[in-house]
Amino acid sequence: MKNWIIVGVTSAIAESVARIWAERGYKLFLVARNENRLADIAQDLKVRGAASVTTFAMDANAFERHQECFDAALKSMGRIDGILVAHGTLPDQKACETSFNVARSEIETNGLSVISLCTIAANLFEQQRQGDIAVISSVAGDRGRQSNYVYGAAKGMVSIFLQGLRNRLAKSGVHVTTIKPGFVDTPMTASFDKGGPLWASADQVASGIVGAVDKKRNVVYLPWFWWIIMNIIRHIPEFIFKKMKL
């Protein structure tokens, strides 16, 4: 049995991970903005077999509450074995281009708040000399593209931060997993046409995350074929790339 914090559990992927962990009998500490939704999810996870479920309503952008969140988790579960950071938004790229304030707020949500949470987790886990940090980044962070480079910049920042963190914590027995999903069929991506073979279900990605955490993988692309796609995209020379419509 393990004790996990899940931040952003109202996202379809994170909720699906929580279901798998609940069936394994884990203790879970759920964090999201909306109290009623947290209660709905908590009830579901209890029926599915979670040893205990505690909820904590918090906006990830309330940086000043992040420490309080960890304190509450430690108090309710007694010990923290891992944290899955899964919250995020899919920004309106056009709005980010016309307003820096929108861009900044998106970068705070998708980038800085993740870094704040991981900083606290890293220090705690380093001290207890064990723990898993798993973060949902994105393939969008692998290369800036005109269609969503603000989101990409935030996710790229997260990916590089985690690289350094993994390096720092390796000697303390703390593991960091960077998760890079491709296109996932969730309510967050409702505005897309999901007809193609590149789309994966939230359940598929969730079981990939659970497997990656179990196997202590460093960086995973989900599904795996995104590793090939992103390798190709990363290697297109810039003078060609800048003229492409991606």
Partner 1 sequence: MGKPYVSWARYPYTSQQAVDLQWRTDLLPDVPSVLPQGNARSYGDSCMNHGGLVASTRFMRRFMDFDPQSGLLRCEAGLQLADILNVVEPQGWFLPVTPGTKFVTVGGAIANDVHGKNHHLEGSFGNHVTQFELLRTDGSRRLCSPTENTDWFDATIGGLGLTGLITWAELQLKRVPNSAINLETIKYQDLATFFKLSEESEATHEYTAAWVDCLAAREKLGRGHFLRGNHARITQPKPAAAKLKLAMPIDPPLSLVNSLSLRAFNALYYNRLFQERTFATVHYDPFFYPLDFVHDWNRMYGPKGFLQYQCVVPNETSYDAIREILQRIADANSGSFLVVLKVFGKVPSRGMLSFPRPGATLALDFPYHGNKTMALFDQLDEVVVQAGGAIYPAKDAHMKGEHFRQFYPRHDDFKQFKDPGISSSFWRRVMEENT
Note the residues at the interface with partner 1 (CB under 8 A): 12, 23, 36-37, 40-41, 43-44, 47-49, 185-187, 190, 192-196, 199, 202
What's the closest the beta carbon of residue 195 comes to partner 1, in angstroms? 4
HSE-CB at 124 with a 13 A cutoff on CA atoms is 21
Cβ proximity to partner 1, 196 vs 237, nearer residue:
196
CA–CA dist 176, 185 (Å, integer): 25
CB atoms within 10 A of CB 187: 9
Cβ proximity to partner 1, 47 vs 232, nearer residue:
47
Question: Does an H or E element contain 214, and which?
Answer: helix 202-214
CB atoms within 10 A of CB 35: 11
What's the closest the beta carbon of residue 87 comes to partner 1, in angstroms? 15
Cβ proximity to partner 1, 134 vs 202, nearer residue:
202
What's the closest the beta carbon of residue 109 comes to partner 1, in angstroms? 19
Cβ proximity to partner 1, 108 vs 185, nearer residue:
185
What's the closest the beta carbon of residue 37 comes to partner 1, in angstroms? 6
Percentages (nearest 5) of helix, strand, coil residues in the chain: 55, 15, 30
